């Protein structure tokens, strides 16, 4: 256990130096960073913004139930069931049919349910229907169907929220699901959340529709960017789903900020066909039910590239491009809770954490020197190396350090000393029976290994479980604790053991007390 080849010594110290170098990156000037890596401070340490968002899926449910109209009508027609008075009432469909029992049997055939003609309520996978009077039925989404819609909308919303926030360049945001309808957003370092709220509050439903003179059915009256009332056809030529990219740009003629966009192949075909057939007409660009601009179509646009103008500031053009790039939210997001955390509490927490670490560190160092003399110095050297490696690994990962993370680092100090104490106490026992000092130290390291591994691996398993099932601060604690355990084992059984071997081999003919 005390024998080290030159290659082993080289690997140990190279690995130690390589990881330790990263820990010093946290102290370099941001303007002169050679390697742009550092540990980021969490919301509880540097302050920032906390937003709790909630999806509103009411409109989405209405859209989804409308999408079931054609399939249900086809089901009725294919099975010879006559119907009348078919109407859409917000989140449900109401109709009258001539064969209630047959419809129930067909409706539930996908689940192989046995239909009881005396039961008035039926359920299929995502839809359910019930008899309301005579042969009039009401079709709506089942609880499972509503849950599926909510889950899908929530997951899609989280992804789009993440894209929008990442595009702004916010460092280390936390975006998590909370319950069935809510999204938690933590933005460390962000003091003014108004722009974020404005970006997240827009669904960014973009579509292109023709301006029409027909004020009858089939058009909506909307107000353009200059206050002009326009009749817009309900027929959507193309939607934002066909956008590949959108970027802010400056129009050379009058330095007006605009948004340039690129369409996919299908979108380019649709746009090219629509602009070819409607040269001379006006095309309204509608975002969330509001006209952004309504330019004239002077010539066919078949390249798949276009431009949106609308008296924007450059910031507005940048935000609009960001919204279009990230995609449309499936439902509106409502801000349920909002908090701005100042840095004062974080500064106090950092000071308290650092003070605790320094006090504990000094006490441990003094105790180890008093108890184990020269080997106490070795243990202390390994302890300092352990902290440097831990900070280095966190820097490489660009981890976010929270207050529980500081607690994990402090706990690592105790566990690192614990490993060396176990080893040294075992060596003391071996020295009582072994005449050879080298054999005593070698046996001490060898026989203490199982105990040290058992103590650290079981704690590592707990850290992995905390990371897997915990969230936010719990994950921060688990990460620092887990990495600390690995660096503890490395410094105790490689670095400290090598330093110990140097002392023992150089004093093998002398009496060594521990």
Pairwise CA distance, residues 41 & 45, whole Å: 6
pLDDT at 191: 66
Q: How many domains does the chain have?
A: 3
Cα separations in angstroms, 380 against 13, 200, 426: 17, 50, 18
Residue 113 pLDDT exceeds 60: no
In a domain, 159, yes or no: no
pLDDT of 6-49, one tens digit each?
898 999 999 999 999 988 888 777 666 667 788 877 777 777 88
pLDDT at 14: 94
Q: 118 and 257 share a domain?
A: no
pTM: 0.65
Residue 487 pLDDT exceeds 50: yes
In a domain, 156, yes or no: no
Which of 31-40, 74-83, 490-499 has the least mean pLDDT? 31-40
Token pair in block for residue 25 = 């990156």
Pairwise CA distance, residues 224 & 229, whole Å: 6
Q: 305 and 228 share a domain?
A: yes
pLDDT of 273-320, one tens digit each?
988 998 888 888 888 888 888 888 888 888 888 888 777 888 888 888
pLDDT at 409: 86
The CATH number covering residue 301 comes to 3.30.1360.200
Stretch 37-62: mean pLDDT: 82
The average confidence (pLDDT) of the chain is 83
Stretch 347-363: mean pLDDT: 79
pLDDT at 391: 92
H or E segment at 209?
strand 206-210
Q: Please identify, among 314, 330, 354, the residue that sits at the C-terminal boundary of a domain.
A: 314
In a domain, 220, yes or no: yes
Residue 117 pLDDT exceeds 70: no
In a domain, 163, yes or no: no
Q: 117 and 250 share a domain?
A: no
Residue 448 pLDDT exceeds 80: yes
Pairwise CA distance, residues 360 & 381, whole Å: 15
Q: 66 and 26 share a domain?
A: no
Contact of 237 with 270, CB cutoff 8 Å: yes
Q: Where are the alpha helices (DSSP H) in 207-280?
A: 265-277
Pairwise CA distance, residues 67 & 70, whole Å: 7
Q: 385 and 492 share a domain?
A: yes
Residue 365 pLDDT exceeds 80: yes
Which of 106-120, 134-148, 295-309 has the least mean pLDDT? 106-120
The confidence band for 483, taking pLDDT boundaries of 50, 70 and 90, is very high
Pairwise CA distance, residues 514 & 509, whole Å: 15
Which residue is it, tokens 């370099």?
Answer: 28
Residue 157 pLDDT exceeds 80: yes
Higher per-residue pLDDT: 76 or 343: 76
The confidence band for 253, taking pLDDT boundaries of 50, 70 and 90, is low
The angle that helices 143-168 and 58-66 make with each other, rounded to 10 degrees, is 120
Range of the domain at 97: 60-145
The confidence band for 116, taking pLDDT boundaries of 50, 70 and 90, is very low
Which of 104-108, 179-183, 236-240, 245-249 has the least mean pLDDT? 104-108
DSSP structural state of residue 399: P
In percent, the amount of the chain with pLDDT more than 70 equals 90
In a domain, 227, yes or no: yes
């Amino acid at each position: 256990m005390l024998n080290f080849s030159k290659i082993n010594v080289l690997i140990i110290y190279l690995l130690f130096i390589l990881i330790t170098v990263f820990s010093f990156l946290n102290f370099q000037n941001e303007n002169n960073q050679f390697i742009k890596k550092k540990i980021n401070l969490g919301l509880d340490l540097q302050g920032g913004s906390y937003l709790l968002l909630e999806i509103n899926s009411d409109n989405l449910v209405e859209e989804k139930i409308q999408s079931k109209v054609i399939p249900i009508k086809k089901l009725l027609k294919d099975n010879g069931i006559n119907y009348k008075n078919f109407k859409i009432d917000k989140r449900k469909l109401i109709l009258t049919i001539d064969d209630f029992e047959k419809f129930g049997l067909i409706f539930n055939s996908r689940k192989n349910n046995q239909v009881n003609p005396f039961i008035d309520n039926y359920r299929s996978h995502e839809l359910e229907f019930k008899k309301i009077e005579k042969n009039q039925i009401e079709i709506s989404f089942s609880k499972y169907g509503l849950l599926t819609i909510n889950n899908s909308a929530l997951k899609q919303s989280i992804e789009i929220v993440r894209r929008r926030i990442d595009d702004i360049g916010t460092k280390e945001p936390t975006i998590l699901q909370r319950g069935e309808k809510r999204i938690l957003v933590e933005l460390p370092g962000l003091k003014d959340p108004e722009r974020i709220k404005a970006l997240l509050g827009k669904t960014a439903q973009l579509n292109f529709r023709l301006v029409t003179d027909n004020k009858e059915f089939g058009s909506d009256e909307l107000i353009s960017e200059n206050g002009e009332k326009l009749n817009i056809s309900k027929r959507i030529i193309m939607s934002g789903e066909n956008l590949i990219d959108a970027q802010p740009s400056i129009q050379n003629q009058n330095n007006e900020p605009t948004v340039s966009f690129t369409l996919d192949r299908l979108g380019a075909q649709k746009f090219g066909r629509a602009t070819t057939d409607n040269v001379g007409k006006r095309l309204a660009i509608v975002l969330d039910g509001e006209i952004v601009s309504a330019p004239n179509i002077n010539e066919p646009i078949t390249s798949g590239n276009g431009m949106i103008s609308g008296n924007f500031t450059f910031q507005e053009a940048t935000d609009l491009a960001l919204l279009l790039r990230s995609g449309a939210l499936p439902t509106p997001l409502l801000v349920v809770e909002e908090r701005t955390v100042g840095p004062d509490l974080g500064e106090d927490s950092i000071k308290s954490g650092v003070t605790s670490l320094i006090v504990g560190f000094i006490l441990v160092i003094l105790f180890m020197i008093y108890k184990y003399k020269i080997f106490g110095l070795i243990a202390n050297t390994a302890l300092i190396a352990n902290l440097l490696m831990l900070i280095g690994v966190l820097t490489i990962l660009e981890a976010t350090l929270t207050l529980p993370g500081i607690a994990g680092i402090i706990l690592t100090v105790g566990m690192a000393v614990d490993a060396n104490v176990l080893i040294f106490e075992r060596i003391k026992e071996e020295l009582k029976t072994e005449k050879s000092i080298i054999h005593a130290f070698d046996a001490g390291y060898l026989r203490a290994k199982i105990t040290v591994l058992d103590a650290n691996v079981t704690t590592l398993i707990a850290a992995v479980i905390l990371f897997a099932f915990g969230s936010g601060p719990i994950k921060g604690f688990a990460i620092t604790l887990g990495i600390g355990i690995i660096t503890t084992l490395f410094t105790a059984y490689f670095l400290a053991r090598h330093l110990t071997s140097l002392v023992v081999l150089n004093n093998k003919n002398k009496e060594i007390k521990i």
